[in-house]
Amino acid sequence: MGLPKREVLSVDLISINDLSRDEIMDIIKDALYMKRKKDSVPILKGKFIVTAFFEPSTRTKLSFHRAIKGLGGEVIDFIPSVSAIQKGETDIDTLLTLQAMDIDAFVVRVRRNGAPSEWKEHIKVPIINGGDGTNQHPTQALLDMTTMYEHFGRLDLKVAIVGDIIHSRVANSLTQGLLKFGAEIRMCGPEEFVPRHYEGVSLITQSLEEALDGVDVIYALRVQKERIEKLPLNIDEFFRRYQINHKTIKLAPPHAVLMHPGPFNRNIEVSDNIVYSERSLILTQVKNGVYSRMAVLKRVVA
Ligand code: CP
């Protein structure tokens, strides 16, 4: 295809499966240490890191910016809508062009499943995957596991993932990450939005009552409308059957917490009165996103 081959191996983070159980726990402990310590060491001083997000993002991109700057590094934010992409340049040619400017790493997000794995065959500097299609979102899984570990002190938890699971890269990375720690994962949603089978998952059900019985964590997901070609009619109404609200949260034990990767759709998958309640860890997840990504940058780039 007329592209350079990578000569030197570098550490990347493309999938949660790139990390062993011990490596995940090291990142979690490092993230929580940096959160407690606050004054971080400038280990990225002199490093230039490009964020190249070919799909929209608030949390992932800006928490990476915060993490890079917190570690003393420089951010170069590539914005496709005002770039030579608009003149027909391809994504890989864009990354090779940016790499030629002596940058030290990429954080990427892309619509196409598997694109970061293809790119790493040609790119010499480390690539961190900030989400590819319906495939993987490893740093989301790491910040979620950091949040669960911080709250419960362990990860062998009972976790019910509720919502549009088959279009969710978050569901994949989180499930695969938690299974390494012996968690019990349940999946719940309308039959159009849950898989028939998922390796290692103990329960796949259309019943919210069954899914939430005895759980530690309710992990709600939004409907990924941008990935669905033809939406079933009244999708929002359809999803209200699975909404986590002040009534349905009672299907779970009192100690159970609500998590959501964001962005959430108010009063669709989560109700107004529960989203920032004392049961919710949603903003803690966002905060931990900064420190988990600092720990990832330390491992991959510093
Ligand atoms: N959770 C998550 O990936 O959010 P953003 O799309 O805002 O980055």
Question: Tens digit of pLDDT for each residue in 161-198?
Answer: 999 999 999 999 999 999 999 999 999 999 989 999 99
Q: Which region, left, alpha or beta, applies to residue 277 given φ > 0 means left and ψ of -120 to 50 means alpha?
A: beta
In this structure, of 7-16, 148-157, 248-257, the range with the lowest mean pLDDT score is 7-16
Four-CA torsion 10, 121, 138, 33, nearest 10 degrees: 10
Count CB atoms within 10 A of the CB of residue 112.
13
CB 215 within 8 A of CB 189: no
Whether 102 shows a pLDDT value over 80: the answer reads yes
| Span of 88-92, 104-108, 238-242 with lowest mean pLDDT | 238-242
Give yes or no for residue 266 having a pLDDT over 60.
Answer: yes
pLDDT band at 8 (very low <50, low <70, confident <90, very high): low
Distance 140 CA to ligand 1 centre (A): 8
At 7 the pLDDT is 61
Enter the pTM of the model. 0.95
Q: What is the DSSP letter of 280?
A: B
What is the pLDDT, as a whole number, of residue 1? 61
Verify whether ligand 1 is closer than 6 Å to residue 264 (CB atom).
no
Residue-level pLDDT at 302: 87
- Specify which residues 292 forms β-bridges with: none
Cα 8 to middle of ligand 1, angstroms: 31
Is the per-residue pLDDT at 106 higher than 90?
yes
* Ranges assigned E (strand) in the chain: 48-53, 74-78, 105-110, 127-132, 158-162, 184-188, 203-205, 217-220, 257-259
> Of the candidates 57, 52, 38, 131, which has an alpha carbon nearest to the alpha carbon of residue 99?
52
Q: What rounded mean pLDDT belongs to the chain? A: 94
Of 59, 63, 167, 225, the one to substitute when testing ligand 1's pocket (max ligand atoms within 8 A of C-beta) is 59
Name the residue with tokens 């019990």: 184
Give CA–CA dist 204/189, Å, rounded. 8
Domains of the chain: 16-136+287-300 (3.40.50.1370), 139-285 (3.40.50.1370)
User: What residues have CB less than 8 Å from 275, skipping those under 6 apart?
Assistant: 258, 260, 264, 266, 282
